[in-house]
Structure 1
Amino acid sequence: MPRRTATLLTSTLLLIALLCAAALITVPYAQMSPGPTVNTLGDHDGEPVLSIKDRPVYPADGHLNMTTVRVTGADYRMNLVEAVSGWLRRDSAVVPYKTLYPERKSAEEVDEENAAEFSASQESAKVAALQQLDEPVSSHVTVDSVTKGGPADTSLSPGDVIQAVDGTRVTKPQRVAELVTEHKPGERVRFTVIPADKAAAAGKKGEKPPARYAKQVTVRTEKAKDDGRALVGIIPGVGHTFPFEIDIKLADVGGPSAGLMFALGIVDKLTKGDLTGGEFVAGTGTIDERSEVGAIGGIQMKTVAARSKGARFFLTPEGNCATAARTTPDGLTLVKVATMDDAMDALKKIRAGDTDKLTECQRD
């Protein structure tokens, strides 16, 4: 065999061996890519994304699209070939595994957390939208989550409304923790609660949690492992009573990043005319009860997804602006927003055609 042919054959076999080895070598990375984008004003899988009862709802011709990011699962282990391929592509991002999954959790636990965050974002979106419309919203302290196997595991449930702790009325979640930690580990704490099912049934009717269903629940505290304080194994949160029913349906989506777009969609459906003036607007960002817009992950993947569907404007959280502006897709205007009012003002300018007055994202 000629030396040149032998060298080429050896090199080819070596390359194949290296590629096979690379396909077997796992690396501590995960991948993000553009995910689906859904118009909050329209339908998804045959159902309206936003359904509102007992209030006039007005048609809207524009788009207020929420955006998502696809990520490799918590149990998925990327190999070296996939990592290199992802690094070379412009429509994906390869990041350290711990960036997406900071703690070693099962896929089931990650899905549960994402679902909980998505549910909380819907609640905050409703609050922000109704505040924008000057609609009354009342709040109450709830059990947000219960630690599995903790002292309260069989006594309290997520969604229970906490009226009082040891007879002291509570109106803020932090007050629950303060009253519990006044006890020594091993002592009992008495909660006055309205069961979650009774509170939920009243909420669907736009009514406050009915006090007549309140009951007393006693929980023995245990010692916290980190600092020795007394705890009962719950995380208190805030629930709300809305003046009418708002239902948000969007399957297979998790996390809190659609809050802003849900809030804007609700406002658009409850007001005459189009907030967008018929334009295709997409965006992202968390929303809280103060109507402040928070930064999210995967911003560059979301702008790619939005533009590929036809978006011309993208409402971008202030905290994501510099990163997003580094690789802005052609034809997409990144609009900086820090609050719900900022977003409403931006839509007003888009609607009026005053796009030169928009506050655009700038690179560092």
Structure 2
Amino acid sequence: MLDESDPFDVPPYEPERVSPRSLMLSVGMLGTAVLLALLVVLPTPYAVNSPGPTRDVLGEHDGTPLIQISGAKTYDSTGELRLTTVSGTGGPGFPSTILGALQGWLSPTSVVRPVEELYPPDVSQEQIDESNQAEMVSSQENASVAALTELGYDVPATLVVAGAVEGTDAAGKVEEGDVIVALNGTPVPDYQSLIDDLDAVTAGDTITLTVTRHGQTIDLPIVTGTKDDGGAQIGVYIDPTFDMPVDVKISIDDIGGPSAGTMFALGIIDKMTPEDEADGVDIAGTGTMDVTGDVGPIGGIRQKLAGARRDGATWFLAPASNCDEVVGHVPDGLHVVKISTLHDAREAMTAIGAGTAGSLPTCTSSAG
């Protein structure tokens, strides 16, 4: 049977009318998407510090050993000695986003602070990078000197005066460029000798500081001042030049600042001694290091604790001066040991590797 109806004879199409509710929902979704996009890209006046990467100073990075030693025998190690870092946003050229700040506030291992508390407004990122790199280079030299001295090496140094501390008796007597050669008639061939000789002086006593100036030897009577710990100090800034008995090269270009000094020094000691001190244990840590072997405070200790545990460390060496920040913030499975000197750190490393670390000092007790 034929259908004689006109195939084009259909009712006109009428589009479905959009309800006000659907329209509001669409607008709301679009607004949310735009808001989320802005959260991702809009800068905020806050700096966010989070756990950064760790590096095993006994290992390699990009195929290059972090510590390379020539002029002395080295030994293999089975443990790991991890330097720890902090990753940050909010500095010049690297602003934090609103989303990043929100994530930082919600994270138990991150800290969010106003940018002006960390970065002066007139400092560029290039200046910050240059300062961090200079501090890293200095920390490597200090670590090398301290480690070799701890191992019994003599590290001769030329002790050049860089200036005098204002308000001390040395001001107006020493001159920039003077070279210190003796204290109270005793030669000081290296930095450690100067420190040792000063330890025998009572603050307030007058010493005879012998310097060479423009080729002449001069004796300078100087009344010593008092250090924070009560010891005597000359009141001069010294820029030493070291004559290293062993060539130590540390290769690490993507990390700046001075806080890796302690772990560098431990790595040098571990490599240059036949004992396998860490003995298969993953030990992390932090702390500045001066040429006398003193461990100094650092920033971001809580982020470094978290980063160490995240990367598998079970022990952490923390500067004694950071202990107040450590208490209550130690991740599960991480044991923290308090250290004040490189010798402390070396003994802790050896005890941890030997499985006899139960009596090592912690940040909550002198032994624990």
Fold-level match, TM-score > 0.5? yes
Could you list the per-position Cα deviations for residues 194-225 of structure 1 after superposition, in whole angstroms to 9, with x for gaps in the alignment?
Answer: xxxxxxxxxxxxxxxxxxxxx99xxxxxxxxx
Distance across 1 between alignment mates of 2:97 and 2:311: 31
Distance across 1 between alignment mates of 2:301 and 2:92: 20
Amino acid paired to 1:292: D
Structure 2 equivalent of residue 137 of structure 1: 155
Matches within 5 A, 1:286-305: 286-305=288-307
Structure 2 equivalent of residue 51 of structure 1: 68
Q: Structure 1 pair 328/192, CA: closer, same or farther in 2 (3 Å)?
A: closer
Matched, 1:30 2:32: no
Unaligned runs of 5+ in 2: 1-17, 180-213, 216-236
RMSD over equivalenced CA pairs, Å:
3.1
Which of these residues, 125, 128, 137, is aligned with residue 107 of structure 1?
Answer: 125
Structure 2 equivalent of residue 240 of structure 1: 242
- From the CA coordinates, give the structure whose radius of gyration is larger: 2
Contact 2:162–2:177 (Cα < 8 Å) also in 1 = no
Contact 2:161–2:178 (Cα < 8 Å) also in 1 = no
Distance across 2 between alignment mates of 1:131 and 1:291: 8
Distance across 2 between alignment mates of 1:237 and 1:190: 10
Structure 2 equivalent of residue 122 of structure 1: 140
Structure 2 equivalent of residue 148 of structure 1: none
Matches within 5 A, 1:197-276: 237-276=239-278
Amino acid paired to 2:136: F
Structure 2 equivalent of residue 357 of structure 1: 359
| Residue identity (%) | 40
Amino acid paired to 1:138: P
Matched, 1:172 2:161: yes
Could you list the per-position Cα deviations for residues 116-143 of structure 1 after superposition, in whole angstroms to 9, with x for gaps in the alignment?
Answer: 00000001101110111110112224xx
Unaligned runs of 5+ in 1: 142-170, 184-188, 194-214, 217-234
**Range with greater deviation from structure 2 (53-62 or 345-354):** 345-354
C-alpha displacement of 1:82: 2.3
C-alpha displacement of 1:21: 6.0
Contact 1:57–1:269 (Cα < 8 Å) also in 2 = yes
Structure 2 equivalent of residue 64 of structure 1: 81
Distance across 2 between alignment mates of 1:256 and 1:305: 18
C-alpha displacement of 1:103: 4.8
Amino acid paired to 1:49: L
Contact 2:79–2:282 (Cα < 8 Å) also in 1 = yes
How many matched pairs? 291
Matches within 5 A, 1:7-18: none
Contact 1:173–1:238 (Cα < 8 Å) also in 2 = no
Distance across 2 between alignment mates of 1:245 and 1:21: 52
SS at match of 1:173: strand
Contact 1:293–1:338 (Cα < 8 Å) also in 2 = yes
Structure 1 equivalent of residue 99 of structure 2: 81
**Range with greater deviation from structure 2 (82-91 or 304-313):** 82-91
Contact 1:63–1:278 (Cα < 8 Å) also in 2 = yes
C-alpha displacement of 1:263: 0.4
Could you list the per-position Cα deviations for residues 230-287 of structure 1 after superposition, in whole angstroms to 9, with x for gaps in the alignment?
Answer: xxxxx97222111121111112110001000000111111111112132111101101
C-alpha displacement of 1:308: 1.7
Distance across 2 between alignment mates of 1:320 and 1:106: 29
Could you list the per-position Cα deviations for residues 27-47 of structure 1 after superposition, in whole angstroms to 9, with x for gaps in the alignment?
Answer: 221122222211111211111
SS at match of 2:135: helix
Distance across 2 between alignment mates of 1:139 and 1:245: 15
